[in-house]
Amino acid sequence: MALPFLAEAGSTPRIFNFASGPGVMPAAVLAQAQRELFDWNGSGLSMLELPFTGEDFKSVMWRAQDSLRALLAVPDNYRILFMHGGASAQFSLLPLNLLGGAERADYLETGYWSRRAVTEARRYCAVNIAASTGGTDFDRMPVQEELHLDPGAAYCHYTSNETANGVQFHRVPDSGAVPLVADMTSDFLSRPLDIARYGMIYASSQKNIGPAGFTVVIVREDLLGRAHPATPTLFDYRMQAEAGSLLNTPVTFAIYLAGLVFQWLAERGGVAAMECRSLARSAQLYRAIDASVGFYRCPVQPAHRSRMNVCFMLADSALTPLFLSGAARHGLVNLKGHSMLGGVRASLYNAMPDEGVSALTAFMRKFAEEHAHHV
């Protein structure tokens, strides 16, 4: 008898998961992992049982890294690292690895996550807030003319997509000769990138990469070897680059799953195709919000709205719990906004089926009709 999940894989799922992370996984990838759980590649061993020092796991690791390099056209002078500790660890590891004796770094303050990065960086260096949109509750990203950059900064950090606030950069800030560093945790692999514009990019894995467990760091080679002497060996970018991210036991199962997601992505047209889909799907959702004549409201200025995390409020906030429970009954789950900000947040990562967005907009219209007297 087919296992229940296998019977469903490939068909339209009835539950649509809008979680901000860990987020929705491609059904085809889960089905493949289910098949291979007991017997990976005819080895008679589960992927969970492969020693990380053996050739089998190493081939999984190299394939995942090569696929990622191909997906993003990562130039040869950049190293791809799979690191422990989530993107939050990078908030500290970045200054530890890139200050290299300098005492200052630029940060763009654009929402909840960049603020967290700033707080952590202040433990290691003087932070210059090169721009902040906090004055208008992070309803947009700063424009280039607003940036007050410090030419003596070791690097300039920004968050390409603010997962909690639903605001996204749709252009790459220019930091001149200062290496640009981006936290791309929540929009990584959602569009093509010109990697050469960056000194470093990092993204934890539980959004568009799929499984929670590790953080991708893509770093230009000339920035390696600057780590503060007190940096733990495990978190020294150069040491990890030299060891092929195998300094200690990596999160083998998450890396295996990520490799399957990269393959899934490549088979579906790669990041250019993902960008087209995310443009169309986020536009569909924002249209539904804007067409509700005030029943729903997106606090983010239209030109800066995130294509990955669509955040909106109900005009009558007392209706929000009813909206969320009604949505869940329709199979539209994990729509609750960030705990600090409230409201509703629909995360539209690559693995979200288009039908999920259509089902959500249909539910939103119906809910607004039924409760229109509240506006």
Ligand X SMILES: Cc1ncc(COP(=O)(O)O)c(C=O)c1O
Sole window of 8-16, 52-60, 181-189, 318-326 interacting with ligand X (rule: CB under 6 A): 181-189
Q: Which is nearer to ligand X, 167 or 288 (CB)?
A: 167
Residues between 94 and 153 with contacts to ligand X, criterion CB under 6 A:
113
- What backbone torsions phi and psi does residue 31 show, to the nearest 5 degrees? -65, -40
Q: Which is nearer to ligand X, 87 or 219 (CB)?
A: 87
185, 231, 252, 278: which one binds ligand X (CB under 6 A): 185
Sole window of 42-50, 80-88, 248-256, 357-365 interacting with ligand X (rule: CB under 6 A): 80-88
Q: Which listed residue (106, 183, 187, 236) is catalytic?
A: 183
- Our finding on whether 88 is near ligand X (CB under 6 A) is yes
Minimum distance of ligand X from residue 44's CB (angstroms) = 34
Minimum distance of ligand X from residue 161's CB (angstroms) = 6
| Type of residue at 14 | R
165, 175, 190, 204: which one binds ligand X (CB under 6 A): 204
- Our finding on whether 183 is near ligand X (CB under 6 A) is yes
Minimum distance of ligand X from residue 20's CB (angstroms) = 6
- Our finding on whether 22 is near ligand X (CB under 6 A) is no
Q: Which listed residue (40, 106, 187, 207) is catalytic?
A: 207
- What backbone torsions phi and psi does residue 158 show, to the nearest 5 degrees? -145, 165
- Our finding on whether 86 is near ligand X (CB under 6 A) is yes
User: HSE (CB half, 13 Å, CA atoms) of 302?
Assistant: 6
Pick the closest to residue 221 from 240, 204, 249, 248 (CA basis). 240
Sole window of 41-49, 138-146, 178-186, 322-330 interacting with ligand X (rule: CB under 6 A): 178-186
Residue with the CB atom nearest ligand X in the bound state: 86
- Our finding on whether 159 is near ligand X (CB under 6 A) is yes
186, 208, 278, 292: which one binds ligand X (CB under 6 A): 186
Residue with tokens 């791809």, as numbered in its chain: 80
- Our finding on whether 361 is near ligand X (CB under 6 A) is no
Are 67 and 263 within 8 A, CB to CB?
yes
- Is 207 noted as a catalytic residue in this protein? yes
Minimum distance of ligand X from residue 69's CB (angstroms) = 22
Minimum distance of ligand X from residue 112's CB (angstroms) = 8
- Our finding on whether 202 is near ligand X (CB under 6 A) is no
Q: Which is nearer to ligand X, 85 or 270 (CB)?
A: 85
Q: Please give the residue ranges that form the binding site for ligand X (CB under 6 A).
A: 21, 86-88, 113, 159, 163, 183, 185-186, 204
Active site members: 113, 183, 207
